[in-house]
Amino acid sequence: MIKSTNQNKRKLKGETDLEVKIKVFDLQKMMEGFILEQNCRGNSKATVEYYEGNISRFISYLDEQRIASDTSSICKLEIQKYILHLKTTKRWSNSEYIKSEGKISSKSFQTYIRAIKAWIAWMEEEGYLDKMFQQK
């Protein structure tokens, strides 16, 4: 689903500056495209589920915070807020069967963030997002 907005410019591959239209893309559709790409690459079922689960967690967080679930919400500030949210989240907080007072482990935390980084890199590579984090 494509929505127009005057706030963000998204230049897709192959478009010249004169052809640039303002485009904002639905994050659920972006996740589906990324997951399709992972399946086409031949990644294991576990890897694909890992990506899907962690990206879904991020999209759910945006929904809970009443933040737009489209590419306009993918910015450094929102990702930093999500990181802080993860750091204060209890393990298995969404499970009614497992009760835990402990925080998410450092290793799990890094895993969650790694999935989001891979997804963002894919969206940048595909031209759905501007390069957010330039390599030095």
Per-residue pLDDT of the chain (136 residues; tens, 9 = 90+): 333 333 444 455 555 544 445 478 999 999 999 999 999 999 999 999 999 999 999 999 999 999 988 888 888 899 999 999 988 887 655 544 444 567 778 888 898 899 999 999 999 999 888 776 544 3
With contact defined as beta carbons under 8 Å apart, do 73 and 27 qualify?
A: yes
Name the token pair of 91: 């393990």
The secondary structure element, H or E, covering residue 25 is strand 24-25
pLDDT of residue 106: 82
- Tell me how far the alpha carbon of residue 16 is from its chain's centroid: 27
pLDDT of residue 8: 42
pLDDT of residue 92: 54
Give the N- to C-terminal CA distance of the chain in Å, as an integer.
34
Q: Where are the domains of the chain?
A: 2-126
How many other CB atoms are there within 10 angstroms of residue 112's CB atom?
20
Which amino acid, residue 23?
Answer: K
With contact defined as beta carbons under 8 Å apart, do 73 and 80 qualify?
A: no
pLDDT of residue 93: 52
pLDDT of residue 105: 80
pLDDT of residue 68: 87
Q: How many residues does the chain have?
A: 136
Q: For 2-126, which CATH superfamily applies? A: Tyrosine recombinase, N-terminal domain (1.10.150.130)
What is the torsion angle, in degrees rounded to the nearest 10, for the CA atoms of residue 7, residue 8, residue 14 and residue 17? 50
pLDDT of residue 100: 52
pLDDT of residue 38: 97
Which of 102, 96, 131 is CA-nearest to residue 117?
131
pLDDT of residue 12: 53
